[in-house]
Amino acid sequence: KRVVVVFPDLIEKRKAMEYFGGKEEPEEGVRFAAIKDEFKTSLFERIWVRSEKEITVRDEDAWFVVVGASCQELPDVQALSSAIKERPLVLFNMKLDTARGDLGLPAFPSKKVHFEFLSGYALQSS
């Protein structure tokens, strides 16, 4: 079984891989992944068309830890949550208390994301 550290996009994933020696699996039982692949489409398509998501869930993945996703990426996190079914999903360093307030504003996901997805998570502060 393995823990998957999920980054918002390939750019962040590649930064982490560089830091940990260029490996997608830097340690036994740990894998890096990205919610979506920003390079599947052109810049124009990314602005006007909803791009395909890279949600790679493997059988040996036991836990998922989403790190640093922004409010705009919450629908992608919600899709990941659906894809992993009953496996644990940890949302880390996402500032959800402020992200919830942005939902429904222009250029942000709708409030529906809060009611259908985020309301199922308890906020923990350190």
The whole-number mean pLDDT for each consecutive block of 10 residues of the chain, a chain of 126 residues, reads 90 90 92 74 56 69 89 83 88 68 72 69 57
Q: What pLDDT score was predicted for residue 120?
A: 67
CA 52 to chain centre: 14
Element of type H or E holding 33: strand 30-36
